[in-house]
Structure 1
Amino acid sequence: MFSRFFIERPILANVIAVITMLLGGVALLVLPAELYPQITPPTVRVSANYPGGSAKVVADTVGAPIEQQVNGVENMLYMSSTSSNDGSYALTITFEVGTNIDMAQVLVQNRVQIALAQLPPEVQRQGITTLKQSTDIVMFVTLTSPDERYDSLFLSNYATIHIRDALSRIPGVGQVTVIGAGSYSMRLWLDPDELAARGLTTLDVVNAVEEQNVQVAAGQIGQPPAPPDQATQLTVTTLGRLRTPEQFGDIIVKTITAPTPQIVRVRDVARVELGAQTYDQFFQVNGVPAAGMAVFQLPGANALDVADRIRAEMEQLREQFPPGMHYDIPFDTTLFVREAIRELYLTLLEAGVLVLLVILVFLQDWRAVLVPATTVPVTIVGAFIALFAFGFSVNLLTLFGLVLAVGIVVDDAIVVTENAAHHIENGQQPKEAAIAAMVELFGPIIGITLVLTSVFLPAAFLRGITGQLYRQFALTIAATAVISAINALTLKPAQCALWLRPAVQRPRFIFFRAFNSFYGRVEHAYARSVHWMTRRPALFMIPYALLVAVTLWGFLALPTGFLPIEDQGYFMTSVQLPDAASQDRTKAVVDR
C-alpha cells in the first residue's frame, strides 16, 4: 500500500514535507508581487518627431507610411496613433494577451525599417524609436527647488542627464519618462527685417549652422608616409560642435565682397540664447516649477522590490544634488499594493489560527490537533512552488485563493486523524490504526481531490482577459488541493502513527464539557428537525423554490463589473479647454 510505505518510514515523509516548505519559501522570495495579474494586452510604441510639422503634415508624411507597414503584424489586435502640432508622432500597437512582448517589438521594428525610406529626411535624422510599453506605473518622482533657485528647464535637464539613466538601470524598471519643460536647446530667434535687408532666408541660416556646427576628424601632422627625418606625429584637434551662444553667434552666414567687403554672422540677423527645446508643456508641484519622472515596471517584475530599489537609488543620488534641489515621491502605486498584500497575509494567518481552534474544540486532543496543524504551513507554503512553476505572481487573487484553501487543505488531514483515532479507540496500536485508516481512506482522498480540481480547472481554460485574471485564482486552489492530498497520503499517516495515543479516561476541561453538552443538544435538535422535514418533503419544497427565486433575482439585480472599485488613496483631475487654447490660458485654469 502506498501510505504504508511512509508509515514505516516517517523520516522520509518528514523530509519530503521539509523540502516542500524550503522550495516554497525560496519560490516566495523570487515571485513578483503586484495588485492583480498581468491582464492588460502588451503594447509596443513607435515614436518619431518632425520639427516644424503640423498635425496634418505629420499624419500624412510620417504616420501613413509607418501605419501601412505595421498594420497586420502578427498577433496584433489594434493600433492607435497621435499626431500633434508640435511635430511629434506616436503609434501604439496592442497585441493579444499572452503575446511575447520582446518578439512583438522585433516584428514591429522590422516593419518600421521598411517604412523608413519613405519618411522625410528630417524625421530620419531625428530617429524613430520602437519600445515595448508598460502601462504599469510604479511611482512618480519629482524634482523641485523650494527656494526657486532653479527653474523647470534646469530641473528637467538635470533629471534627463543625471537621474533617468540611473533609474533605468534598476532591475525591473522598463521605462523612465521625464516630464517637464524639456531639454536645453540653442535657440536662434531670427529677425525677418534683418534677413530681408541682407538678402537672406531662413534656409540660409539653417545651412550655415549645419555646415559649421559639426564634429570632424582633422587628421594628423607627420603621419606616414613621411620623410625619414620626421621626428614627431601630431594629432590635429579642432573646435567641434559649438557650445555657447557666443560661438553660435559667430557662425558666418554670408560673405559680401562688393561694394564693401562684409561678413554677415548669425548674431547680425538673430538673437541667440540657451533655452528650452520646446515650450509646449509645463510641470508644477504645489504651484512651484518642477520636473517629474514617471517610472514604469517591466512585465513580470516585482513592483514592491522595484519601488524599494528606486527609493534607495534616489537616496544615493540625492547626495550629489546641487544646493537647493529636493526630490519627492508624491505618487506611489506600491503603497496600496503593499498594504493590500499585508492585509491578505494577515487574513491568511487569522484563517489558519481559526481553523486550528475549531479543530481543537471538536477533537479536544492536542496530539490530534498537531496532525492537521502541520498541514497548513506545508500545503500553503508549498503552493508557492506551483505559483512559480506556472509563472504566476503574488497578487490579490492568488493570496485570496490561498485564504480559501486553508479550510480545504485541512479536510483530508482531519479525516485521516479522526479515522486513525477511531481505530485506536477500538484497541489497535497507533501504527496499525494508521495503516487501517489509510486502507479505508486512500480512495476517498483521491476522489475528493479529483472533484476539487475538476471544479476549479475549467476556469483556467477561459480565454481573453477574463481567463488571464481568474486562471491564477483557479489553479492556486487546485494546486493546494493536490499538495494537500499528497500530504494526507504521506506525512499525515506517519504523524498519526507517531503522535496519537489511546485516550485516557479522565475528566475533561470545563470548557470542553460545556461545549460537548451544548453541541449534543444542538445535534439532537437538528436530527429531530431533519427527521420531521423528511416526512413532509412537499411542504419544504415551497420555501426552497422561494429561496432559489430570491437568489436568482439578487443575481440579476446586483450591478456587474469586471473588478471591484477600490479606494487607493488618490484621485486624478483632467481639465479640457477648447481647441486652440493657449498655454497661458491653460496654466491660468490649472492655477485656480
Structure 2
Amino acid sequence: MKNNIFINRYVMACAISIVIALVGYISMSTLPVEQYPDIAPPTVLVSTSYTGADENTVMKAVIQPLEEAINGVTDMTYMTSKASSNGNVQINVYFKQGVDADMAAVNVQNRVTRAQALLPADVNKVGVTVQKQQSNILQIFAVKSADGKYDEDFVSNYVDINIKPRLMRITGVGNVMSLGNTYALRIWLKPDVMAQYGLTPDDVFAAIGGQSFVAATGSLGEQSENSYQYSMQYKGTLKSVEEFNDIVLRTSDSGHLLHLSDVAEVKIGAMSYNYTSNIQDKPGALFVVFQAPGANATEVNARINKTCEEMKASMPDGLEFVTMMTSDDFLFAAIHNVVETLVIAILLVVLVVYFFLQNFKATIIPSISIIVSLLGTFAVVKIAGFSLNILTLFALVLAIGTVVDDAIVVVEAVMAKMEGGISDAREATRQAMNEVSVAVVSCTLVFMAVFIPVTFMPGTSGTFFTQFGITIASSVGLSCVSALTLCPALCAIMMRMTEGKKEGKGLSYYTKKAYNASYNAIYNKYSTSVQKFIKRPVLAWSLLALAAVLMVFFMKSLPSG
C-alpha cells in the first residue's frame, strides 16, 4: 500500500479507531449475557388431561390422534410423547435449528385444531394447550408459610393469582411455571348411598351440568307494545360449596328432594394431588422463571428481584420469598473466570511484546491495537445477533495472540528501517508500509479463511462454531484495519531514534540483558539447524513426508465421536 494516507492524516486514523472502540463499547454494554448460546432446538409443548383414564386409554384416545395430526408439520424433526397414570398428556415437538418458535407454535396449533373432533369430550372440555417450550431457567423461587398459618393449596393459589401474572409481565421473562396445586371443588361420591337410590355417576354429572351453566336468558317485553323491557339475568355457574350441596338430583312422588349433599361430600380441595412441596419444613409452593430468547439474563434477574421486593409489601403476613436457585450464580462464576483469563492473556501478550521489541513506545502501539480490535469485535457480535457468553469470550481469549500480530509486523518493520539509518519516523513508516502492507492483508485473509467456513456447519455444532468462528475472524479482520490505519499514524508520531541514549544499569537493564543472551543462544542454534537443512534438502523433504504420514496415521487411529 504505497503512500499510506494515514501517515500524514493521523487525526483521521485516530478518529476511525475511536469510532470502532466506541461502537464496540456501546455494543458490549447492550449485549445479552448468558452462560451458553441458545443451542436447544425450538420446541413446542402440547399438553392436556384425560381425567380418570389410564396410560393405555390416554395413548389410544388422545395421544394417537394428536400425533397423527401433528406429524409432518413444517420443519419438524421429531416428537416425543408421554402419558401418565393420572391422565396427563405431554407431546414435545422438536424443530430444526433456527426455526421461529412462534411460527412453529402456530403451525402446531393449526394441526391440533384439526384433531380436536377426534378427541374425547372430556379432553375438549379441559382443552389442549399449545405453547413454546422455554429451556433457559433464570430463577427458581419458592413462597413459604413461615409460621405454618397457610397450607400448600393456599400458597400455590396465591402464587398463581398474584405472583405469576406480575412476573409474566416482566420484559425478558419467557414463561413462569408453578409447581403446586390449585384450588378445585371436589365432589366425593358415596357409592353405598348412591346404590340405595339407584344413582350412577352419570346421573350426578347430568344434574351438575343441568343446574350449573352459563346461558343467555334474553329479555321480557321485547317487540311488544309494552313501554318497559326487562333484561333477564341468570346467576350462571355455581361457585360455593353450599350451592353445589343444594343441587337437586331427584324428586320423589311425595315431593321429597334428593340433594347432592345426600349422596356425596362436597368440599374445596386441590385440582390434583401430584405435588407436595415443603420449603424448609414449611408449607409452600415452587415456581420456575424461564428466560425469553435473546434477553439479557442479568438484567432480567435484576427486574425479577425488584418486582419480588415490591410484592413483599402486599403479601399476607407469614408468607415470604425463598430463592432456591438463580442463574446469576453460575453465570457470573463462569464469565468471571473467562474475563480473568482474558485480562491475564492481554497482560502476558503486552509483556512478551515488550521483551521482544524492548521499546516502551513500540509496545504501546500494539497494545492500543489489541484494545481497539477487541472492542470492535463486540460490535460485530451485536450485529450478528450473538450473545456475550463463554464461547464468544473464549474466542476473544484465543484471538488476543493473533490480533497483535499485524501491529507487531508494522512496528517491527518501522523499527528496522530506523535502525537501518532512516532517522525520520514518517519516511521510515512510509517505506515500511510499502513493504509489509500486502503481507499483513494476505496473512489476515488466510487466517480468516480458516475460521469462516466453520460458520456453515449445521445443527447444534454449527451454533457453537458459528459464534466461535465469526468472533475470531472479525477480531482478526479489525486488527488488520487497525494495523493499516492506526499503527502507521502512531509510528509516525511516536517512534524516535534511540541511538546515543544509554540506559541505566538497573533491574530493567539486567533483565533485558539476560533475555537477550537467552534469545541469542536459541537463535544461533536455530540458525545453525536451518543452514543444515538448507544444505540437505532431501532430509528436509523426508522429515516433512514422515510428519505427514504420522499425522494421517494418528488422525485415523484416534477415536471419533
TM-score (norm 1): 0.87
Instruction: Look up the match of 2:486.
Output: 491
Quote the Cα distance in structure 2 between the aligned partners of 1:309 and 1:513.
Answer: 55
Quote the Cα distance in structure 2 between the aligned partners of 1:140 and 1:184.
Answer: 22
Instruction: Look up the match of 1:144.
Output: 144
Quote the Cα distance in structure 1 between the aligned partners of 2:225 and 2:23.
Answer: 71
Please state if 1:241 is matched with 2:237.
Answer: yes
CA offsets per residue over residues 125-180 of structure 1, 9 Å max, x none?
21111111122222211111122111111111111111112112222222211112
Please state if 1:20 is matched with 2:16.
Answer: no
Q: Which amino acid aligns with 1:453?
A: M
Deviation at 1:44, TM superposition (A): 0.9
Deviation at 1:521, TM superposition (A): 2.1
Quote the Cα distance in structure 2 between the aligned partners of 1:227 and 1:134.
Answer: 60
Say if 1:526 and 1:353 are closer, same or farther in 2 by CA, change over 3 A: closer
Contact 1:45/1:133, CA 8 A, preserved across alignment: yes
Deviation at 1:455, TM superposition (A): 1.9
SS at match of 1:420: helix
Q: Which amino acid aligns with 1:102?
A: D
SS at match of 1:98: coil
Instruction: Look up the match of 1:323.
Output: 317
Please state if 1:172 is matched with 2:172.
Answer: yes
CA offsets per residue over residues 544-579 of structure 1, 9 Å max, x none?
97999799879967x988xxxxxxxxxxxxxxxxxx
Q: Which amino acid aligns with 1:501?
A: R
SS at match of 1:394: coil
Instruction: Look up the match of 1:482.
Output: 477
CA RMSD of aligned residues (A): 2.8
Quote the Cα distance in structure 2 between the aligned partners of 1:77 and 1:219.
Answer: 51
Q: Which amino acid aligns with 2:479?
A: S
For these two proteins, the number of residue pairs brought into alignment is: 554
SS at match of 1:240: coil
Instruction: Look up the match of 2:435.
Output: 440
Query: Of 253, 262, 284, which residue of structure 2 is paired with 1:268?
Result: 262
Instruction: Look up the match of 2:329.
Output: 335
Quote the Cα distance in structure 2 between the aligned partners of 1:133 and 1:202.
Answer: 37
Instruction: Look up the match of 2:507.
Output: 511
Instruction: Look up the match of 2:30.
Output: 30
Mapping 1:261-300, distance limit 5 Å: 261-300=255-294
Query: Of 493, 496, 504, which residue of structure 2 is paired with 1:501?
Result: 496
Quote the Cα distance in structure 2 between the aligned partners of 1:115 and 1:243.
Answer: 32
Say if 1:222 and 1:366 are closer, same or farther in 2 by CA, change over 3 A: farther
Quote the Cα distance in structure 1 between the aligned partners of 2:528 and 2:422.
Answer: 37
SS at match of 1:280: coil
Quote the Cα distance in structure 2 between the aligned partners of 1:19 and 1:222.
Answer: 78
Deviates more, 1:524-533 or 1:70-79: 524-533
Quote the Cα distance in structure 2 between the aligned partners of 1:527 and 1:10.
Answer: 36
Instruction: Look up the match of 1:210.
Output: 209
SS at match of 1:472: helix
Say if 1:550 and 1:110 are closer, same or farther in 2 by CA, change over 3 A: closer
Quote the Cα distance in structure 1 between the aligned partners of 2:438 and 2:275.
Answer: 70
Instruction: Look up the match of 2:189.
Output: 190
CA offsets per residue over residues 394-421 of structure 1, 9 Å max, x none?
1111101101111211111122122223
Instruction: Look up the match of 2:405.
Output: 411
Instruction: Look up the match of 2:251.
Output: 255
SS at match of 1:278: coil
Q: Which amino acid aligns with 2:247?
A: I
Deviates more, 1:209-218 or 1:324-333: 209-218
Say if 1:158 and 1:556 are closer, same or farther in 2 by CA, change over 3 A: farther
Deviation at 1:45, TM superposition (A): 0.8
Quote the Cα distance in structure 2 between the aligned partners of 1:216 and 1:346.
Answer: 67
Instruction: Look up the match of 1:92.
Output: 92
Q: Which amino acid aligns with 1:183?
A: T
Contact 2:44/2:105, CA 8 A, preserved across alignment: yes
Quote the Cα distance in structure 2 between the aligned partners of 1:186 and 1:208.
Answer: 16
Deviation at 1:531, TM superposition (A): 4.7
Deviates more, 1:410-419 or 1:498-507: 498-507
Quote the Cα distance in structure 2 between the aligned partners of 1:87 and 1:80.
Answer: 17
Quote the Cα distance in structure 2 between the aligned partners of 1:355 and 1:226.
Answer: 98
Deviates more, 1:91-100 or 1:396-405: 91-100
Deviation at 1:226, TM superposition (A): 5.8
Structure 1: gaps (5+ residues): 562-592
Instruction: Look up the match of 2:467.
Output: 472
Please state if 1:56 is matched with 2:56.
Answer: yes
Q: Which amino acid aligns with 1:296?
A: F
Quote the Cα distance in structure 1 between the aligned partners of 2:522 and 2:365.
Answer: 30
Contact 2:355/2:512, CA 8 A, preserved across alignment: no
CA offsets per residue over residues 354-399 of structure 1, 9 Å max, x none?
2223333333333222211211221101101111122211111110
Instruction: Look up the match of 1:571.
Output: none
CA offsets per residue over residues 470-512 of structure 1, 9 Å max, x none?
2211111111000100111111111212222232522224234
Say if 1:361 and 1:223 are closer, same or farther in 2 by CA, change over 3 A: farther
Contact 1:431/1:497, CA 8 A, preserved across alignment: yes
Structure 2: gaps (5+ residues): none
Query: Of 351, 355, 369, which residue of structure 1 is paired with 2:363?
Result: 369
Quote the Cα distance in structure 2 between the aligned partners of 1:358 and 1:463.
Answer: 39
Contact 1:430/1:496, CA 8 A, preserved across alignment: yes
Instruction: Look up the match of 1:391.
Output: 385
SS at match of 2:214: coil
Say if 1:274 and 1:3 are closer, same or farther in 2 by CA, change over 3 A: farther
Quote the Cα distance in structure 2 between the aligned partners of 1:548 and 1:514.
Answer: 46
Q: Which amino acid aligns with 2:444?
A: T
Deviation at 1:519, TM superposition (A): 2.8
Contact 2:141/2:323, CA 8 A, preserved across alignment: yes
Deviation at 1:63, TM superposition (A): 0.6
Please state if 1:524 is matched with 2:485.
Answer: no
Please state if 1:103 is matched with 2:103.
Answer: yes
Say if 1:209 and 1:152 are closer, same or farther in 2 by CA, change over 3 A: same
Say if 1:508 and 1:555 are closer, same or farther in 2 by CA, change over 3 A: farther
Quote the Cα distance in structure 2 between the aligned partners of 1:546 and 1:164.
Answer: 63
SS at match of 2:434: helix
Deviation at 1:20, TM superposition (A): 1.2
Fraction of identical pairs, as percent: 36
Quote the Cα distance in structure 2 between the aligned partners of 1:503 and 1:539.
Answer: 41
Q: Which amino acid aligns with 1:121?
A: A
Quote the Cα distance in structure 2 between the aligned partners of 1:364 and 1:282.
Answer: 69
Quote the Cα distance in structure 2 between the aligned partners of 1:319 and 1:126.
Answer: 35
Query: Of 424, 444, 452, which residue of structure 1 is paired with 2:447?
Result: 452
Instruction: Look up the match of 1:348.
Output: 342
Say if 1:540 and 1:530 are closer, same or farther in 2 by CA, change over 3 A: farther
Contact 1:3/1:493, CA 8 A, preserved across alignment: no
SS at match of 1:148: coil
Instruction: Look up the match of 2:162.
Output: 162
Quote the Cα distance in structure 1 between the aligned partners of 2:486 and 2:517.
Answer: 36
Mapping 1:118-137, distance limit 5 Å: 118-137=118-137
Quote the Cα distance in structure 1 between the aligned partners of 2:49 and 2:220.
Answer: 42
Quote the Cα distance in structure 1 between the aligned partners of 2:149 and 2:542.
Answer: 80
Contact 2:2/2:430, CA 8 A, preserved across alignment: no
Deviation at 1:38, TM superposition (A): 1.8
Deviation at 1:92, TM superposition (A): 0.5
SS at match of 1:374: helix
Deviation at 1:529, TM superposition (A): 2.4
Deviates more, 1:159-168 or 1:295-304: 295-304
Quote the Cα distance in structure 2 between the aligned partners of 1:498 and 1:217.
Answer: 87
Instruction: Look up the match of 1:6.
Output: 6
Quote the Cα distance in structure 2 between the aligned partners of 1:307 and 1:295.
Answer: 10
Quote the Cα distance in structure 1 between the aligned partners of 2:339 and 2:3.
Answer: 33
Q: Which amino acid aligns with 2:462?
A: G
Quote the Cα distance in structure 1 between the aligned partners of 2:122 and 2:115.
Answer: 15
Contact 1:138/1:296, CA 8 A, preserved across alignment: yes
TM-score (norm 2): 0.91
Deviates more, 1:538-547 or 1:303-312: 538-547
Deviates more, 1:405-414 or 1:531-540: 531-540
